[in-house]
Each structure stands twice: as structure tokens, then as C-alpha cells.
Amino acid sequence: MPFYSNPRETHPIDEAISVANNRMFYVHQLADSRGVIIDPFSASSSSSSAGAGLFDAFGRQRVSALHTIGDYKHLYALDANFLNSVNAGGAVNFIPNKACATLSTTSDPASYAIHQTKLYHQYQPGKSQLILSSFAFGAAQANVTKRTGYFDDRNGIYFEQTGAGTLNWVIRSYVTGAAVETGNRIAQANWNVDRCDGTGPSGFNINITKTQLIFIDFQWLGVGRVRCGFVHNGAMIIAHEYFHSNEINVVYISNPTLPVRCEIRNTGATAGGSFDQICSTVQSEGGYQETGIDWERANTSMRATLTPGGSPLPVLALRLRNTFGGTQNRISAILTNVGLYVETKPIRYEIIKLPSSSSLTTTDVGGLVWTNVDDSGSGIQYCVNATGYVTTGSSALFGGFSSAGTSQNSRSEVGSGGLTASKKNFISQNFDSSDSEIYAVVVRTVTTGSNDTASVSCSLQWREVY
């Protein structure tokens, strides 16, 4: 290891030791895989694209303590935590032997396929957000654009292959009220750290016809740095950095809480195309403490279960409002507690998750009534007049029994482990924030006599994360 004979020729972190001892000492230094010394006080330096990857977006040395906000893979079927949107013959198919989702288009110029997580992953100010995603674009296909990254229709960061074969890093921004990428689509020839063509500091020469693993890490705080690159042979190789503080006069994206997404789109006359999306994760670096706002709502009067006995009744339901704060509602609502009070007959209860608002039904002439929990503070609506539900696409999160004449708080620990406690324990909106998933408490009498009924009151507690 190198050493210093002059105690004043050291980094500030070593200075106190050198002055105290006033003699020669050894200094531990970091180096990348090629032996290039890395200065921890200049972690953003582009002198070594692989070495700089040892530090997160805020310049903290990367250690093993990461918090996974979302992780996605296709092992037995398409991951159920994704939404798919297709047009003109576009498709998303599970290929079991390759453990991937294959996105494809037809020869129709309007054909596309989008594969996007339901969850919008919470960004916490001051924490580096790290996204990893593996895929195989394959060779460029005429008039077919392929994208993968951390983005939606309005905001985000992604890697792109055009039909002409150009590789781009892109930031999409909705700051103007429309999705804009002008000036933020950076072609490989203009990547400012490592062009990944074999001539850069890492020596990495990307072969896009082979599988790739990209990473994106970013500061937000509205004006932070964004880094994009590739993971190769264990090294994080930074290809391009975007800088914003002291450079722009507005935030660079209007929402840093975003989904993992991949898509394929035809842009003109073509024979169609395809690519494989394999695996993705979103992680928070530098610690994570799930934050949000807790709410509670109950049906204000007892509801009688349906006859004959054993018939299910959705006694209380929650969904996301379509808009919140004047924009698309991209919060996640996580159930944390359920309370029940029962009279007359014992009941079986279930907490179910429904795929859309149309999954809930009522026999009331006026239809379902959805009421805002709080007009300005909450992104949730509740319903107490449902009388049935469509079972297609529904899933039971948990359930139990409650005897008559008792008050029971059940499953109070639900959600206490945060977003990753259960991959299903959240509700979210659809692609354009027009149709929310639903939580519903469904009750029925244990006995099945023709006139068996119970009176039930229910409360739900949840956390709104955004």
C-alpha cells in the first residue's frame, strides 16, 4: 500500500492520526478492478466509471445494507405485480424456460406492448434510489423502439434502443405539463463518463445482442444527479451522468416515485419485433424508514349479512381516488388493521383485494356510493353500500372468524413490516389513474340456514405512502 512521509500530504480524514503520531503510517485506499486509485472525497469523478460505482448517488460508499422496495421476476408465470397494456397485436408472454416476459409487436405500425409494475416505488429525500434491471434487446429491428427502466407515461429514466440501432439514455419529464424528452435523450456517442465501446475507462464494450444488466441511481430533491450504466463482471460501470443543480430552473422530473417498466413500440413500417425482460429490483440506499399518513374509517351503522346464511357481503371497501392534489393519484395504500363487532351469529370474514372498481356491485338503485375520506388530506374513498363482488381476479389477503357479541381487532400486525411484508398488501391505480384496485372486508355467517343473519360493524386502518 502507498504511504506518506509528510503528515500534511494526506486526506483530511487521515490528518488527525498523522499529526498525533507525527510519523510515517500506512493509508488504506480503494482501487477499482484495474488498480486505479479511487478518491472517496471525489466519488463522482469520471476518471474510473467502474470505481465510481462503489458509491451511491449521494457519494456514500456502498455497503451491503440495502432496503428492497420492490423486486420482480418471472419464474412460474408473469409476475402478478405487473400491469400489461397492448395494442394492435402487441403481446406480453411468459417464457418459462427463459424465466422472462417476452414483449412483442406485429407488423401493424400502431402495435405496442407495455409491461409495468403496479407499485410506484416510494422515493425518500436524501436517500439514493437504485434500480437494477436485466433484459435482452437483441439486434435492432427496423422501426421498433425498445425501452427498459424506471418510468411511466409522464416521468422517469430509461435505456432505449431505436430501430436504427442507436442506444440512448433518456430522462422523461412532465414539468411542462406534457411528457418531454428533448435535450435529455443522450446517444451512446455522447455519454459523458464511458461510451461503453471499448475506449472508455472501464474498457467495457457493450454487445446489445447479448443479455445486459443496467443500473440507474439518482438523487431527486428536485435537482439532484442521475447516473446510468451497466453492471458487468461485478463492476458498476457508469455510462452517463445528468447534473441539474445550478443548471436548471425547475425540477428535472415532477415525480420521483415511479414504476419499473419496459415497453416495445413500432414507429413505422416494420415486420415487428420482440425482446425479453428478465428481472428487476428497486432499492433504497442509505437506510429506509417507511413514511406515510395513517387513516381509519368505519361503517357508521351495523350492516346485516345477506340471506340465506353463508352469503358474502362486502361490508366496507376502500379504493384510491382517480386524482389527488390535482394530478394522477400514484400513492400506495397499505392495510394495517381491521376491527370487527358482531351481533346475533358468528361470522367468517375475509379481507380481499379486487382488481378494479367494477369488481364491486350493489343492488341499490342509485349504485355504489364512494365518499372521500378527507377531501384534501387523503387519496382514498370508502364505500358502505356494496352488496356483492365479482370473484374474477380477486384474491384473499387474510381472514378469520368472529363470534357474536364480541369486538375483535384482527391481524393488527398486517403491513407492519413495510411494503415488502407482503407483495399483495397494497392497492394502486391503473395506467392512466382512472380505475383503482379495491380493499374489501367480506363477511358471511358461519351457519347456512335460510334466515341466518348477523349484524356487523367494521373499521379499517391503512397507511397512505407517497
- In this predicted model, what pLDDT tens digit does every residue of 345-354 receive, in sequence order? 999 999 999 9
Q: Is residue 320 within 8 Å of residue 118, measured between CB atoms?
A: no
Which residue's C-alpha cell is 507525527? 22
Least confident range of 212-216, 395-399, 438-442? 395-399
Higher pLDDT, 301 or 363: 363
Q: Is the pLDDT of residue 111 over 90?
A: yes
- Mean pLDDT in residue range 25-35: 52
Average pLDDT of the segment spanning 318-340: 94
Q: Which of 416 and 240 is assigned the larger pLDDT?
A: 240
Mean pLDDT of all residues in 432-436: 97
Whether the pLDDT of residue 1 is over 70: the answer is no
Nearest in space to 101 (alpha carbons), one of 69, 121, 72, 144: 72
Mean pLDDT of 93-122: 97
Q: What is the pLDDT of residue 14?
A: 43
Share of the chain above pLDDT 70, in %: 83
Give residue 182's pLDDT.
Answer: 86
Give tens-digit pLDDT for 354-371: 999 999 999 999 999 999
Question: What is the model's pLDDT at position 60?
Answer: 63
User: How would DSSP label each residue in 391-448?
Assistant: -TT-EEEEEEEE-TTEEEEE-TTTTTT-GGG-TTS-B---TTS-S--EEEEEEEESS-
Query: Counting beta carbons within 10 angstroms of the beta carbon of residue 223, is it exposed (0 to 12), middle (13 to 18) or buried (19 or more)?
Result: middle
Q: What is the mean pLDDT of residues 130-158?
A: 98
Give yes or no for a contact between 463 and 415, defined as CB atoms under 8 angstroms apart. yes
Q: CA dist 259 to 54, 81, 149, 256, 330, Å?
A: 25, 11, 9, 10, 10
| Domains, the chain, ordered by start | 1-31 (no CATH), 44-285 (2.60.120.200), 293-465 (2.60.120)
Cα separation, 152 vs 116, whole angstroms: 8
| Region 291-298 average pLDDT | 92
pLDDT band of residue 92 (cuts 50, 70, 90) is very high
Is 115:101 a contact under the CB 8 Å cutoff? yes
Give CA 437 to chain center in angstroms: 16
Convert the pLDDT of each residue in 213-245 to its tens digit.
999 999 999 999 999 999 999 899 999 999 999
Whether 448 shows a pLDDT value over 70: the answer reads: yes
Confidence (pLDDT) at 291: 81
pLDDT score for 30: 56
Mean pLDDT of 261-282: 98
